[in-house]
Amino acid sequence: MCGITGVVSFHPIGDRLYEGVRHLEYRGYDSCGIAFLDDHHVEIRKDIGSVDEVDSKENIRQLTAQVGIAHTRWATHGKVTKENAHPHQSCHGEFVVVHNGIIANYKRLRDELLKAGHHFRSETDTEVIAHLIEQHFAESGDVERAWVGALRALQGSYALAMISPHDPDHIYCARHEGPLIIGVGSESNYIGSDFNAFIDYTKSTVILEDGEYGIVSRDSFSVKSLQSGDVVEKTITVIPWDSELSRKGGYPHYMLKEIHEQPQAVRSALSIGDDEIAAVADMMAAARRVHLLGVGTTYYVALFGQYLMAQLADMDAPAVSSDEFRHLDRTDSHSLVLAISQSGETYDTVMSLRHAKERGAKTAAIVNVMGSSIARMVDRVILQGSGPEVCVVSTKAALVQMILLTRLAIELGTRRGTLSAAVRREHEAALAALPGQIETILNEKSGLIRAAAYRHARVQNWLFLGRGIYYPIALEASLKMKEVTYVHAEGMPGGFLKHGTLSLVDDKLYTLVVVPPPSAGELYAMTMSSVEEVKARGGFVFGITYDGEEDIFNDRLVLSPPSELTAPFLPLVAAQLLAYFTATALKRNVDKPRSLAKSVTVA
Ligand code: F6R
């Protein structure tokens, strides 16, 4: 996702601007650029590719300029091109901006600016901001008034920084629903979209709030209210982190950070255009056979999708583990294969898609990494936009994939007449409420889950049970546990127990049961009968449950019931935390567990 940095100093800034954008690379990006003031005009250097690629062409580190801003772009509006990379400038290059976020009213603003004679160089929403400032400057001749006038016209979300030769000693910055902070240094000040941009140079920061803007010079800064223009007194916060920790945003591990990013990742997934969902739904609706494809976690995501397609759209879409796909394959030109992959590089999934294509099948994918092999090889891709997932163990990417499959199932259900317009609206409202419900778990249940993890950290064998759509959740929860703790954990449907596995139950085998809300009726009752079966044989049962009244469990975590549609997601978040805290209790290498790679590119 995009990143912003900037430096204004009494000394050359090349090194610090370069280090600043390098430290934002972890967010993921496709292009980058810088702008700096040179002899009373602004120079821009930008391109697609990595910071080092751009640096090797443009020598960012050698810059002798003293004022500059920089950006890493993760494309949203407009393709990945040099023209669309930030910074963006006004017609005469007098106002140069970098931006994170989405300007919701940019089309209207762009039309107005075009009518007023402005010329655009890119397809981005960001460029309107530079022209808007220029437009206001033509009226007032004052940079700050032009800046404020432009900001007041913007709708949507932004973290912004701007430089101009009309005020060559300052960086202007502002935020609305996107983080922007000022770093207060010695003989230099900084701006950044997060602390990583300048943590190596100063730990003293001023955090802008929504509706505030900052004007930063070499040895001072001021923050004002956008509405009133009054100066806002800010306190300096000293970040007690070293730079390595701060790259994890203050979390001890990327896994925990990424678990905590899930509310935002879900919001991003819900803001993906209906047209993108509809395009893949078109392909699924047109196919005679649909296969959902993934491996490891993404196989469980696919299985979750299979239940959703059946339940919401009355549609048969079997999940196949991509390592087995070739052995089962009956695809032909009437088939659609929908692959799911965080990295977009997983060998088995790539090979299965290749195989299906050779047999004439249509292909689509849900992928997190733009430009990856799978994203490029399929007929249609939905880029899930979950931001970089650094921890080898997948959390936020998987949850978002499940959300996107839910959106696809809702779309298909509407088309196939299995969901009325009213039910569709209810489902969409339920999805919109989900980020807040995940936040409640993260904020209010983490302590309880951590305590439970430490209580049970010495357990050697876990069985994870679920029924119906809670079955793939139990599978994924068990995979989280085993891959990050190295503790044996197997998932299975509750109904399987009495067909052999009950023989393993004793006081040493712990069983985690993912229980649906009581409103699930028969599914709830059947799940509880699995609990009884384990209890009757002296087994220890840990319940993740929505029913505060039911106290049959030996230990339990009670969640607040959301809608029926979104109820399976919350136990998954709880199970991720349980695996994480068990791993920390056992002092495992959480972010890089043994024998697991982020991108499995071998057979
Ligand atoms: C588990 C995990 C793996 C991946 C699997 C597929 O946490 O990360 O099971 O899900 O290797 O990888 P992608 O999604 O990159 O295709």
Closest by Cα among 211, 92, 71, 230 to 154: 211
| Predicted pLDDT of residue 20 | 92
Instruction: Kindly state the average pLDDT of the residues 105-120.
Output: 96
Instruction: Kindly state the average pLDDT of the residues 330-359.
Output: 94
Closest by Cα among 598, 173, 157 to 346: 598
pLDDT band with cut points at 50, 70 and 90 for residue 26: low
Closest by Cα among 576, 566, 575 to 402: 566
Q: Quote the ligand 1 centre to 294 CA distance (angstroms).
A: 8
Cis peptide before 493 (omega within 30 of 0): no
| Predicted pLDDT of residue 601 | 46
How far is 237 from 580, CA to CA, in rounded Å? 30
Percent of the chain at pLDDT > 70 equals 97
Instruction: Kindly state the average pLDDT of the residues 418-428.
Output: 97
| Ligand 1 surroundings by CB, under 6 angstroms | 295-298, 341-343, 346, 349, 393-394, 479, 483, 599-600
* DSSP 8-state secondary structure symbol assigned to residue 26: G
Residue 602: pLDDT over 60? no
Ranges 17-26, 95-104, 324-333: which has the least confidence? 17-26
Closest by Cα among 181, 178, 211 to 196: 181
Q: Which of 325, 392, 394, 592 is the best mutation target for the ligand 1 pocket, counting ligand atoms within 8 Å of the beta carbon and taking the most?
A: 394
End-to-end Cα distance, the chain: 30
How far is 525 from 501, CA to CA, in rounded Å? 20
Closest by Cα among 6, 23, 191, 166 to 93: 166
Q: Quote the ligand 1 centre to 547 CA distance (angstroms).
A: 32
- Residue 2 annotated in active site: yes
Which atom of ligand 1 is least distant from the CA of 395? 7
Q: Quote the ligand 1 centre to 388 CA distance (angstroms).
A: 14
How far is 162 from 227, CA to CA, in rounded Å? 19
Q: Which of 343, 384, 386, 598 is the best mutation target for the ligand 1 pocket, counting ligand atoms within 8 Å of the beta carbon and taking the most?
A: 343
> Catalytic: which of 2, 32, 173, 391?
2
Cα separations in angstroms, 386 against 41, 88, 180, 269, 368: 37, 25, 20, 7, 6
Instruction: Kindly state the average pLDDT of the residues 307-321.
Output: 98
148 and 109 Cβ atoms separated by less than 8 Å: no
What is the chain's mean pLDDT, rounded? 93
* Angle value at C-alpha 572, between 569 and 574, nearest 5 degrees: 115
Residue 1: pLDDT over 70? no
Instruction: Kindly state the average pLDDT of the residues 130-154.
Output: 97
Instruction: Kindly state the average pLDDT of the residues 4-11.
Output: 96
- Residue 91 annotated in active site: no
pLDDT digits (tens, 9 = 90+) for 195-235: 888 988 999 999 898 899 999 999 999 999 999 999 999 99
